[in-house]
């Protein structure tokens, strides 16, 4: 093998190991975060993601510079009536991927400071507390997706 290539390979290997080590130190993982785009002067929108904690924890709050007030809401459906409202926290059982999608829990960005356009990126800071009462913050950059995105599990079966 070419010496330079070999060297490069080793570096990549070391870097990926470093990446793994970094990953292991984080207790809460956030995947597939996205925010729904808005039309001009619309003052609220939703943020969606999957959150997995490695030990029994709670999501206490979410903050974002794009909104004056960020709340965690729960949506439920009974007899075709959609019920919504804020919750104090969301349980994150160890190792369980908890979905924040248009069909259940979601993050409400209220009092938006401006229009959210498709392709923008929204910083979100999640505060998670484990069973020992230790708090951890997780920073996420959530891309803004089209207003028309069906999100979550796609009901359309078109894909």
Partner 1 sequence: MTALLTRRKVLAGMGVLGLGLLAGCDTRGQLSYKYGKDLSDKILGRTFKLKNPEGETMSLSSFRGMMPMIFFGFTQCPAVCPTTLARAAQIKKLMGRDGDRLQVVFITLDPERDTPQILDAYVKAFDPSFVALYGTLEETKATAKEFDVFYEKVPAGDTYTISHTSTSYVYDSRGELRLGLSTSLTAQECTEDLLTVMEVC
Around Cβ 38, how many Cβ atoms within 10 Å? Answer: 19
Q: Least Å distance between CB 91 and partner 1?
A: 20
Answer yes or no whether residue 159 interacts with partner 1 by CB under 8 A.
Answer: no
Q: Could you tell me if 141 and 64 are in contact, meaning their C-beta atoms sit under 8 angstroms apart?
A: no
Beta strand 28-36 pairing with 135-145: parallel
Answer yes or no whether residue 40 interacts with partner 1 by CB under 8 A.
Answer: yes
Contact positions with partner 1 (CB under 8 A) in 81-140: 81-86, 102-103, 106, 108, 110-111
Closest to partner 1 by CB, 26 or 87: 87
Residue from the set 24, 133, 148, 159 that interacts with partner 1 by CB under 8 A: 148
Q: Could you tell me where the beta strands, DSSP code E, fall in the chain?
A: 28-36, 44-53, 57-63, 67-78, 81-86, 90-92, 97-100, 105-112, 121-130, 135-145
Residues near partner 1, by CB under 8 A: 36, 39-46, 69, 71, 73, 75, 77, 80-86, 102-103, 106, 108, 110-111, 146-151, 155-158
């Amino acid at each position: 093998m070419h010496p330079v290539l070999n060297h490069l390979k080793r570096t990549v290997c070391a870097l990926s190991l470093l990446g793994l080590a970094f990953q292991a130190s984080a207790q809460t993982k956030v995947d597939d975060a996205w925010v729904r785009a808005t039309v001009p002067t619309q003052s609220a929108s939703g943020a969606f993601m999957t959150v997995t904690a490695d030990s029994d924890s709670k999501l206490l709050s979410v903050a974002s510079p794009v909104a004056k007030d960020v709340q965690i809401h729960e949506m439920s459906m009974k007899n075709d009536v959609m019920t919504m409202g804020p919750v104090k926290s969301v349980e994150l059982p160890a190792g369980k991927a908890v979905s924040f999608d248009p069909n259940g829990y979601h993050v409400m960005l209220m009092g938006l400071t401006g229009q959210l356009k498709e392709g923008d990126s929204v910083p979100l800071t999640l505060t998670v507390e484990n069973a020992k009462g230790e708090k951890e913050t997780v920073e996420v950059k959530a891309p803004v997706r089209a207003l028309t995105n069906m999100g979550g599990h796609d009901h359309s079966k078109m894909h």
